[in-house]
Amino acid sequence: MSVVPPRISIPSAALSGAIASVAYAGEMYLDIAITRNPLDDLQLLEGLLRRRKARFPILGMGAHLLNGAALGVAYALIKPLLPGPNWLRGLSFGLLFVLGVWPLTPLLDRIHPLIRRGDLPMFNTPFALRQNIARHLVFGLVLGLLYRD
């Protein structure tokens, strides 16, 4: 028996993922304002690229958009395996992604230059996990609503 990969539109999936990344960033800045916990993913990416924080993390946002585009394509590929309507598939994808990569946060806390210097808070905390779950649910929901086969 052969498995035929789903037919996807890579440009549409990538664009949907990039737009979902913008929604993620919006939720991130909202939850930072509400919780006062400065867990900023754009600064995290900026710090990996420049080894310092930026007043406006333009490189971090660029990396975030590229990551979202790549995740949009990954979502398009596995979407047929996820249950329910598109919005639920997107939520499931966002939750599965964050829970899948979260075990790497202890390593991130040890090697990231901004976390090691104390310029960013540690990521491997229960509070940070809750923040990231909320952000990835927003990402997944927007991705699920936007991407059509």
The tens digit of pLDDT for each residue in 109-148 reads: 998 988 888 888 999 999 999 999 999 999 999 999 999 8
Instruction: Check residue 75 and give its pLDDT.
Output: 97
Residues 32-52: b if buried by 16+ CB within 10 A, e if exposed: eeeeeeebbbbbbbbbbeeee
- Closest to 26 measured CA to CA, from 73, 74, 68: 68
Residue numbers in the chain where pLDDT is lower than 50: 1-2, 4
Instruction: Check residue 32 and give its pLDDT.
Output: 94
